[in-house]
Amino acid sequence: MRMVEVETYLDGVAERGGLGILAGHSEWETVPPERVGAVVDAAHERGIEVTTVRGAVQPERT
């Protein structure tokens, strides 16, 4: 996805709430650390919490 498409997706997640899923792997040339950082920043700008898959399905127990 291009960054503009990621931002549109994140806008929808922020509007609807719930869980949004984006995947990438550091071994993929299309997912350099700078891109991951830009996506995380874009999510935070929209008030979206960022977590791992494990964190989403097994929230911390208190």
Report d(CA 23, CA 38) in Å as an integer. 14
In the block, which residue shows the tokens 């299309």?
30
Q: Residue 14: its pLDDT value, please?
A: 97
Q: Is the pLDDT of residue 54 over 70?
A: yes
pLDDT in tens, 9-51: 999 999 999 889 988 776 778 788 888 899 999 999 999 999 8
Cβ atoms of 13 and 48 within 8 Å: the answer is yes
Report d(CA 58, CA 44) in Å as an integer. 21
Cβ atoms of 22 and 9 within 8 Å: the answer is yes
Alpha helices in the chain (DSSP H): 3-16, 33-45, 53-57
Model confidence band, residue 57 (pLDDT cutoffs 50, 70, 90): confident
